[in-house]
Every structure is written in C-alpha cells, then in structure tokens.
A and B are shown apart, each in its own frame.
Chain A
Amino acid sequence: MTSQPPDSAAPAVQVADLSVELGGRLILRGVDLQVRQGAVVAVLGTNGSGKSTLIRTVVGLLPAARGQVRLFGTPVPRFRQWKRIGYVPQRITAAGGVPATVYEVVSSGLLSQRRLFTPMHASGKRAVEDALQIVDMADRRKDAVAELSGGQQQRVLIARALVSDPELLVLDEPTAGVDLASQQIFADAIRDRVARGTTVVMVSHDLGPMDALIDRSVVLRRGRIVYDGPPHASQTHAHVHHSHGGDEPGWLTS
C-alpha cells in the first residue's frame, strides 16, 4: 500500500519551463509546476487555456517542445514505472467498434503489471472486483460499456485507473457531462485514495463535489500559469486580468 512518502521523496510531478506546440501553435509557454506527493491539485482555466495539453504532456502523450516533465524524479521519455500512474482521459473513449464489457475495460487497467502471454492472476481479478465496487458498478460488470450512460462510462474509466493502485492519479475533466450521483461516487472514490496518500492532479472547469478535496489550484490562461495557490482565492482570481509577477516558487507548494 502507498504509505506517506518521506519529505525527501521526489515530487510526483515536476514541470520545468515547459512549452508545448500543437500543429505549429504554442499552447503552453514556459510552465513551471511542482506537485509534491500526496497533494491534490486542480488545474483550472477556460477552454483553450492549455490545461488539457498540460496534463497530456505530463503523462507523456504529447512531446515537450522545450523544457521537461519529471514523474517521481524521472524525465518522462525515460519513465517506465507506469504502474504508479493512473490516467483518466477526457473524452469517453470506452467504446470501440466491438462491444466490450465493463469488466474487460477495467481489466485493461492492469496491463502495466501483466506479463505477455500469461492469463490474469487471482490477485488481479480481486483488484478488478474492488475497483468495480468503489465506483458502484459491480452489478454492471457484464454489461457492454457502450450501453451505459455517460456518467457510468466515466465511472468505468475511473475504475480502470484505480485498479492498478496508482500513486499518482491524473484526471482530465473527470466530471464533464457526468450526472450528480456519479460525481458524488467519483468524489468519494478520490477521497478514499487521497486518504491513503495518493497524489491527484485533475483538470476541470466544474469541480462539483470534488471541490472539498482540493488543497491547491493552478489557473492557466493562454498557456501560462496565472495563479497557483490555495483553491478558493482562485475562483475570483481566475477572472481577473492581473498576472502575478511571481509565478515564482513562492507560490508553489514544495
């Protein structure tokens, strides 16, 4: 189980002077961010502010044009311990061209620890059952994912990320288009993980029931961090034009 890491432990996420380009446009410009282990950070900002780009670069889906991302101290291109990361993508991509059940989709969350050409371990099966329980989908395990509502599909994706017992959860708009009941289940699942020391980084423009869990928020605007600090002040700061001369480490929890 994830125990509270010692203070000397490397930050879960370390972003230094990160610039990211998409289709020739600079989406992120010199972003610096450190997330210590055990922190719960919300990345806020309007559409197009670069928050999804930031989070997708952090998990290695997009290359950095300049600067660097480190996960647990290792630069992302060389990072191999993917079992420590749980990722919940933004769009509902749980439905492919062939039907797949809730159980099958959640099981694929265990692949980072499965060896090739070997069947799933009994402990893996138990982990899948546990993850299904957490998001309250155990009774739907044999249902096709495509037949579920948007909120239920999102719960399946959360279970898929939780099943490997990750130390860092990265959530991209976890509550977008999700019904309130699911949002609550979602928040409970995250709270449970946070209590066990899991680091959480989530992108959202609507935190909903998750609001109470956040201990720091980062606001992006046009590819730069314009606020980094306690969550509630950000709600008004997010709409003010002034930029802090100090996106400096003073604002960062480290």
Chain B
Amino acid sequence: MTMFQLEFMQRALIAGLLTGLSAPAIGTYLVQRRLSLMGDGIGHIAITGVALGLLTGTAPVFTAVIVSIAGATAIELVRARGKASGDVALALLFYGGIAGGVLLIGLAGQGAATLNTYLFGSLTTVSSSDLYVVVGLAVTVLVVAIGLGPQLFAVCQDEEFARVTGLRVQLLNLLIAVMAAVTVTVAMRTVGLLLVSALMVVPVATAQQITRSFRSTFVTACIIGVVACLAGIVTSYNANVAPGATIVVLALAGFVVAATAGTLIRRRQGRVAPLADAEPEVGVPVPEPHVVSAGHPHAHNPQCGHTKVEHDDHVDYVHDGHLHAAHGDHWDEH
C-alpha cells in the first residue's frame, strides 16, 4: 500500500494543496502592505481558539476561525489608528493569545502532544469534517484574493490614492486581515500555527527574486507554496517528522536557490544593458524669486540703528519703509 492510498494521507494532501494556494495568495497582499508578520500574530491568537475548542468539546477548527477573525479585526483596528502604543497593544494581544492557549489546553486536560499537532501540523489528525471546513474556507480565501485582486492591489499599493478613487479602504483592509485569519485556520493542520506565517511570506519573497509584476509574483508564490506543501507532506510521512517543519525548510531552500539565481540573472542583465536611464535628476529647486535693492550703499549690521525684524531664518532691516535682507554681496527687498 503506497502512502497515496492511505485515506489520512489523501486528506492531508488535499489540505496541503489548499494551504499551499491560499497562504501565499493572501501573503502577497500582506507583504505588499509590509505586514509580513501579521500572520504570525494571528497564529498566536489562534492558539487560544484551538484551546477553547478542546476545552468545550467543539471542533477546534471552528473556535480557531472565530477567535482568529476576532484577533485579526483587533489587530487591524489598532494598526489603522496608528498610535505609537499600538505596537505594544499588538504584543500584548500576541502573548495573551499564546499564553491563554497553553493555559486553557492544560485545563482541558490535554498535554503538550496535542498542542504540538496544532503548533507544527500533523498528518494524521485531519478528519473528514475538518477537511470540509478547510476546503470551504480555502475556496473563500482564493475567490476573494483573486476576484478582488485589483481592488486589494490598489489598497496595498497606495492607500491614499485608493481612497481618492472611492474604494472603501477600511473595509478592504479589514477584509485582508479577516482573510489572513481564515488562512491561518486553513493552514493550522498542515504547517501549524507557529509556522503558518512562513508559508505566507517565504513563497512571496522567493517569487519576488525572479518576477517584476504583481500578478506574476502572486501566481509564482502560489505555485511555490503548493510544491513546498505537497513535497513537505510526502517528506514528513517518510521521515516521520512534523510536516510544518519540512514544508518551511523546503520553502526556505527554494528561497536560497531563487535568491542566488536572481542575483546571477540581474548581474548578467546589468552587464548586457548598462543603466538605461542615467539621466540626471534636475530636481534642485530654483532659488525663490527676489528683488535686489538697487544701489544700496549702506551695509546693515546689528548695530546700525535700523529696526530689526526677525523673518524666518534671517533678520530684515527696516530702511526708508523697505525691508532689507543680506543676500551674498547685495541687499534684497523683502
């Protein structure tokens, strides 16, 4: 019997395929907004969700998705308000999530072994009911990430411009956060909560080494994600280690290869086509127009007796109803 005939492996591979697609898909938007670590924070918060499920006897997937959506919404609201204390608020949220989760799992009478399957993924624990939830959530994420692609792209690219085109920027930002939360839950059984963020970010970083457009980065990242997930699951089965670790190590290996290849390609292109636009930047502002006082023989100085007026960064002297200011070897009318 090969591993592909084992039912739990089939479920694990389907979950892996969907995780490999949806994590980089939403990850592309997070990286574009420079929120690469958001997935990590949501992953921490989701641990509390899992623990609540175990404690109350409900499916951890459900509780995890609800708690992580609540957490992601909180993160987005804190971020949008942009207060300096926001950074600390986020830290409190993340540590509260992980500590609360471990505490509640202990209260539920579950040990570190159970916790580990959620933290680093597990092949054998994907039940059929889990799988339906995962498929439903992953499809939702993909439909949003692709269908609203142009709008989400605009918001992540230039938020102010997006507002002036009339997009509901706050709503779309919230949508990204919620989709990230859903993705965390989708990926929970495959890569685990502690490594899910890696699967959102590493394929995107890898794709960027060789792509120039947003769309090709998106597609390439999804392909890399799928390959890393499926290969990682197979390796994990053979080596009997947690799938999360193998998936992320494979994805990172891909990054190293792509970064090296990208550097070589760019170096070669650089040699063939030396800096095409070596035009000088003439952005130097023209000196402000000024009126020179014609034939002004008197040299003002702080002791000359003319009234002094502070004017921005210099002093003007009142002289026959004019304001005179020193400018090089002459006097300006101000």
Contact = CB atoms under 8 A, between A and B. Distances in A.
A180 interface: yes
A108 to B, nearest CB: 4
A43 to B, nearest CB: 16
A10 interface: no
Contacts of A9: none
Nearest to A98: B32
Contacts of B160: 61, 87, 89, 93
B240 interface: no
Contacts of A133: none
Contact of A97 (B32, B167, B323, B334): B32
B214 A179 contact: no
Majority secondary structure of chain A interface residues (helix, strand, loop or mixed): loop
A107 B166 contact: no
A111 to B, nearest CB: 5
B202 to A, nearest CB: 14
A101 B32 contact: no
Interface stretch (A12-20, A28-36, A142-150, A186-194): A142-150
A25 interface: no
Interface string A160-171: 100010000010
Contacts of B33: 96-97
Interface stretch (B3-11, B145-153, B183-191): B145-153
Contact of B285 (A82, A206, A240): A206
B282 A236 contact: no
B191 to A, nearest CB: 21
B158 A116 contact: no
A57 B290 CA distance: 31
Given A60-B163, A239-B290, A97 B34 contact: yes
Contact of B334 (A89, A99, A241): A241
B85 interface: no
Given A59-B164, A112-B165, A235-B289, A151 B281 contact: yes
A83 B147 CA distance: 21
B323 A179 contact: no
Nearest to B31: A97
A111 B32 contact: no
A16 B28 CA distance: 43
A100 interface: yes
Counting contact residues on chain B (CB < 8 A from A), the size range is: 35 or more
Contacts of A178: 281, 283
A42 B89 CA distance: 43
Interface string A92-119: 0110111111011101110110101100
Contacts of B279: 149, 151, 179, 181
A94 B163 contact: no
B95 interface: no
B211 A177 contact: no
Contact of A116 (B151, B277, B311): B151
A148 B275 CA distance: 11
A87 B315 CA distance: 39
A89 to B, nearest CB: 6
B213 interface: yes
Interface in B134-183: 147-148, 150-151, 153-154, 156-158, 160-167
Contact of B166 (A82, A143, A148, A170): A82
- Counting chain A CB atoms within 10 Å of each CB, the highest count among B148, B212, B277, B291 belongs to B212
B288 to A, nearest CB: 7
Contacts of A126: none
A241 B279 CA distance: 40
A118 to B, nearest CB: 9
B286 interface: yes
B323 A87 contact: no
Interface in B209-246: 211-215, 217
Given A114-B150, A206-B286, A143 B281 contact: no
Given A108-B157, A241-B311, 12 more contacts: A59-B164, A85-B164, A89-B160, A93-B160, A96-B33, A97-B34, A98-B28, A98-B156, A107-B150, A116-B147, A149-B281, A178-B281
> Which A-B residue pairs are the 7 nearest by beta carbons?
A82-B166, A177-B283, A87-B164, A108-B154, A98-B32, A117-B147, A112-B165
15 contacts: A61-B160, A87-B160, A93-B157, A97-B33, A98-B214, A103-B213, A108-B157, A120-B150, A143-B212, A151-B281, A177-B281, A179-B281, A179-B283, A206-B285, A239-B334
Interface of B: 28, 31-34, 36, 147-148, 150-151, 153-154, 156-158, 160-167, 204, 208, 211-215, 217, 277, 279-283, 285-286, 288-291, 311-312, 323, 334
